[in-house]
Amino acid sequence: MGRSHITAPDRRFRQRIGKLLGDARRQAGLSQEALAKRLRCHRVTVAHIEGGNGGGLSIEHISRIAKATGADPGALLREAMQ
């Protein structure tokens, strides 16, 4: 199945949460590479998530990324859902 099954609200949520996670990373003084090392993933994965392209992004992933940056996962999710 291609990207056509992704609804506009889903896309907007991914874009919002990606921006918020990127903001949290920068606020923590981390590069994408440094965050990727903490998460044991590739920098490109971090870039995709921050760019709103994290199609398989779960609540668990959001929580891990938020915690790695010192952000509150619940607060980020609430803000992204507004």
Residue 41 in any domain: the answer is yes
Residue type, 18: G
Distance CA 55, CA 72 (A): 22
Residue 52 in any domain: the answer is yes
Residue 34 in any domain: the answer is yes
Provide the whole-model pTM: 0.87
Residue 69 in any domain: the answer is yes
Give residue-wise pLDDT tens across range 6-46: 566 788 999 999 999 999 999 999 999 999 999 999 999 99
User: What domain range includes position 51?
Assistant: 8-81
Which tokens hold the place of 46?
């971090």
Residue 1 in any domain: the answer is no
Residue 16 in any domain: the answer is yes
The domain that holds 44 is classified in CATH as 1.10.260.40
Q: How many domains does the structure of the chain reveal? A: 1
Compute the mean pLDDT over every residue in the chain, rounded to the nearest whole number. Answer: 90
Residue 3 in any domain: the answer is no
